[in-house]
Amino acid sequence: MKRILSILLMLSVFITLGWSQRLVILHTNDMHSKLTGFGPELAYTPLTINDDKTVGGFARLATIIKQEKAKNQDKLLVLDAGDFLMGTIFQALEPETGFELDLMKKIGYDFVTLGNHEFDFGTQTLGDIINSALKNGPIPQIIASSLEFSPLPGDDKLEALFKDGVIKPYVVFEKNGLKIGIFGLLGYNAVDDIRFAAPLEFEDMVKVAKKYVKILRKQEHVDIIILLSHSGFYPDDKGGYYGEDLDLAKKVKDIDIIISGHTHVMAPQYIRVGKTIIVQTGAYLHNVGRLEFDYKDGKVNVIDYHLIHVDDKIPGDKQVYDLILAQKKRVDKEILSPLGLEYSTPVGETSFDIRRGDQIKHIAGAMGNLASDAVKYYVDRFAGGVDVIVTAEGVIRENILTGPITPADAFRVMSLGFGQNDYIGYPLMRIYMTGHELKQLMELAIFSNEPGTDKYLYFAGATVYYNPKGGFFNKVRRIVLSNGTEVDISRKSNKLYSVVTDSYIMSFIGNLKKMSYGMVKIVPKDSKGQPVADLMSTRLDFDQSKPGIQEGKEWLALISYIKSFKDTDGDGLPEVPGKYAKFHDNFIPISEK
């Protein structure tokens, strides 16, 4: 009898230990259509290992997920916190093919949420992307809890997907004996970054979180609540973190796990705020997060958390890579070939890395100089010339690394937006300002001078001399154009100067008076000095021999500029000049006696 009791006791202990209700979460965020590796496009060789320095790519990601499923099939969740779209030339085919969502399901994703960049092509086009993906087969369940649909037309396609359950505000499911609730939302900054969602609106993130946490706990009686949050956080100067997701965890205390995105911050360890575990991987699929935990006595207990670096030590999945290669051929045929370009044919090369600004280090980048100069060259050559170019850090998405530069590499640098023609990218637009208005724009740039942040402005075509000790919005003393012309910055002068930027930045310039509560009074004008009522009418035409407006794009400007450089080493490829190895500031501080 004692032996039987002993066996029963051991069995009870074994069952209890075995019933630890362990789960593993693989998670990503801000992949931005990086189907191939990050680095020179031609260096990416995912089917062989230890022979290139690129990181990322869906072929390697597929292997990571496949290996994890082999070990933890019934305990594994694969999640994404948004901005899985927009960032490479593959995005051009998404409205027609829905390739990426389909591919994400094929490699094992369970749930995804929408980030701000999913709306880059507009709400209706996002609906087209999802519908196209559904034609290919199943897609990951999309979770979006903060969508607020309008009775006005313009978000009908997305609303229909919501009604059909393709997009849901939350989901309750079971995994390894645990009842799990999952919801997803957009943070304040992410919503502010969305320019083309109207008439769709977004509910307050804290309000949404409180609402669904209550539903999941009180009505659904879940064990664990997971939030896919496209909100994010930043590192502080003391080795910790701050930001929207941490604030949310303090205000809504009953969320167990937040899979974070939007801010592109790589956190090598999980963050705990109260009971809430918060994780984020960085961006561009450089890393996959792996969170392993068990659930016991009503608590989530972390067993292990680490980032899996997606590098050349991981062999890529051939089936997935073949699918991407087929899509690459379609990009060549439908997007690049009509422009006289090929995906894998270099347009130039660089012997050094050209880097965008760094928000963490608070530094500007030489990529901003190269991008601005490229647009100046492009407009001067093909669209009648311009005085000043304005580019923002936020539209510069990636570095160009040492090696050959293909159209795919160049596109990734300035990959956002769309226009009214058949080619992706924000269209370039030209308005006119008085010298005093141009001064105000430069004053604003100094006032909001936060190198590395999205709002940091780069200029080409002008040098600005300013006194750092000058009064509020009274620091700029001189503006000199690249042709040596001194800008008349006095209030009384009506002389006009041309300014070119993309449609995204132009939407801010056109609204600066309202946004600054009247401090910045810039009225976009045409060449005759008349106020412009419709900013889209200012789009530049880069080929007047054809009917309609042939829009110019920043990524095409970059390619055109790179192709104009000299071949200095005789290998047949133009070489990026050494001046772009380091950032050059067009704002020169001066002192006054």
Per-residue pLDDT at 4 exceeds 80:
no
* Structure-model confidence comparison of residues 238 and 291, the more confident one: 291
Q: Read off the pLDDT of each residue in 158-169 and give the average, rounded to a whole number.
A: 97
Region 83-110: mean pLDDT is: 96
More confident residue, 232 or 547: 232
Model confidence band, residue 265 (pLDDT cutoffs 50, 70, 90): very high
Q: Tokens 């928000």 correspond to what residue?
A: 359
Distance in angstroms (rounded) separating the CA atoms of residues 437 and 521: 7
What average pLDDT does this structure show over 424-438?
Answer: 94
- pLDDT of 319 > 50? The answer is yes
391 close to 398: Cβ distance less than 8 angstroms: no
Report all structural domains of the chain as residue ranges with CATH numbers, in order of start. Answer: 20-318 (3.60.21.10), 346-589 (3.90.780.10)
For residue 206, list its beta bridge partners: none
Query: What is the overall mean pLDDT for the chain?
Result: 92
% of the chain exceeding 70 in pLDDT: 95
Mean predicted confidence (pLDDT) in 529-546: 91
Q: What pTM, to 2 d.p., does this model score?
A: 0.89
Q: What is the mean pLDDT of residues 210-238?
A: 96
- Give the model's pLDDT for residue 422: 61
**Going by C-beta distance under 8 Å and a sequence separation of 6 or more, which residues neighbour residue 110?**
77, 78, 79, 140, 141
Residue (of 98, 99, 107, 83) closest to 29 by Cα position: 83
Q: Which of 49-58, 414-423, 564-573 has the lowest mean pLDDT?
A: 414-423
pLDDT recorded at residue 8: 44
- Name which of 385, 382, 364 is nearest 500 in CA terms: 385
What average pLDDT does the segment 326-338 reach? Answer: 95
Of the pLDDT bands very low, low, confident and very high (cuts 50, 70, 90), residue 370 is very high
DSSP-derived letter for residue 410 is H
- In percent, the amount of the chain with pLDDT more than 90 equals 81
Q: For residues 114 and 154, which has the higher predicted lDDT (pLDDT)?
A: 114
Instruction: Identify the CA nearest to 455 among candidates 386, 368, 353.
Output: 368
Report which of residues 451 and 280 the model is more confident about: 280
Distance CA 267, CA 284 (A): 14
Answer for the pair 387, 462: CB distance below 8 angstroms, yes or no. Answer: yes
Q: Residue 421 pLDDT more than 70?
A: no
Q: Compute the distance between CA of residue 390 and CA of residue 509 in angstroms, rounded to an integer.
A: 10
pLDDT-based confidence at residue 548 (cuts at 50, 70, 90):
confident
pLDDT by residue (tens digit) across 135-146? Answer: 999 999 999 999
Measure CA 574 to chain center. Answer: 29
Lowest-confidence pick of 28-37, 407-416, 507-516: 507-516
In terms of pLDDT, which residue wins out, 12 or 324?
A: 324
Is the pLDDT at 12 greater than 50, yes or no? no
**183-219 confidence digits (pLDDT tens):** 999 999 999 988 789 999 999 999 999 999 999 999 9
Is residue 9 scored above 60 in pLDDT? no
When pLDDT is averaged across residues 79-95 and rounded to a whole number, the result is 95
The closest alpha carbon to 550, from 415, 420, 384, 381, belongs to: 420
